[in-house]
Amino acid sequence: MDTLLGILHVGTAVFIVGPLAILPHTALRALRIRNVDSVRTLATSTMVFAWLSLLTFVFGFGAMGMADPKYQLTFTTPWILTSIILYAVAFLLAVFLLVPRLRAGADAIEAAGADAAAKPASYGAIAGVSGVVTLLLVAIVVLMIWKP
C-alpha cells in the first residue's frame, strides 16, 4: 500500500502540480498577445489544477503515514512541516490572487478594445505572483528529494 501511495503522490505531483506551475506563465504570453479566450481558459485551468493539487497533498500524507517507522515521519518533521506551509501559501496565492488577477486581466483587455496597450496594468502583479507560486512549488520538490 505504501508503494501505491508513493506512486500516486509522485504521479499527481508530476501531472497536476507540474501544470499548475507552468500554466500561469503561458497565460502571461496570452496576455501579451491580447488573447482573451486563452487567458480565460488558462485561468480556469489554473484554478482546476490548484484544486486538484490537493490530491498530491492527501497522497503525501498517506505516504507519510504508511512510511517505515524507522524514518519517524510526522507532521512536525521539519522538511514535511516546511513543505506543508509552502504548499498552503502556494495554493492560497494561486486560488485567491493569481486566478482572480488573470480573470481581471482578461476583462481589462476585453474592455480596452483594440486601441489599448499590449499588456494590462495587472501584468506585473500576475507575473510576480505566478513566479512566487512556481518558486514555492520548486522549493517543495527540493525538500521532498533532499529531506534535510
Q: What global pTM score does this model have?
A: 0.93
Q: 82-106: per-residue pLDDT in tens?
A: 999 999 999 999 999 999 999 999 9
Q: Nine-digit cell at 137?
A: 512549488
Residue 87's Cβ-count burial label (10 Å; 0-12, 13-18, 19+) is buried
* CB-based contact 58:111 (threshold 8 Å): no
Q: 107-145: per-residue pLDDT in tens?
A: 988 888 766 666 788 899 999 999 999 999 999 999 999
Tally Cβ neighbours within 10 Å of residue 117. 10
